[in-house]
Amino acid sequence: MKENTEYMWLVQLDIPEELDDEFNRIYNDEHVPFIAKVPGVLGVQRYVLERPNAGVQRYATVYRVDSPDLPQTPEWKAASSQGDWASKIRPHTSNASLSMFRAIP
């Protein structure tokens, strides 16, 4: 593997529409800032599906990371359990798809 390779951890999921406001508040104000502080996280960008497409989750988050193993580390897991994410949001997520991509040089 080439040194300085960048990876993209793509997290796609659905949340019940009645929880959209709380989901977005917690994701933006707590979850992303906690994850962004984990060493090796290069950037985070969130997306919402613009045009419905059967079988595609409504929300996506792209985490730019410096290692394909980063999301399984104790540091990442601790950060993702902070705040209200674990208790108020995680139990209501569905259709999660987690994919790791390696940048093409």
Q: Where are the domains of the chain?
A: 7-102
- Which pLDDT score, from 0 to 100, does residue 3 have? 64
pLDDT at position 1 is 44
- The CATH code of the domain at 7-102 is 3.30.70.100
CA dist 90 and 79 (Å) reads 14
One pLDDT digit (tens) per residue for the chain, 105 residues? 446 789 999 999 999 999 999 999 999 999 999 999 999 999 999 999 999 888 899 999 999 999 999 999 999 999 999 999 999 999 999 999 999 999 998
Strand partners, 65: 7, 41
pTM across the whole model: 0.91
Nearest to 97 by CA among 49, 70, 58, 65: 58
State whether the Cα torsion 3-72-58-96 is positive or negative.
positive
Measured distance CA(71)–CA(44) in Å, rounded: 13
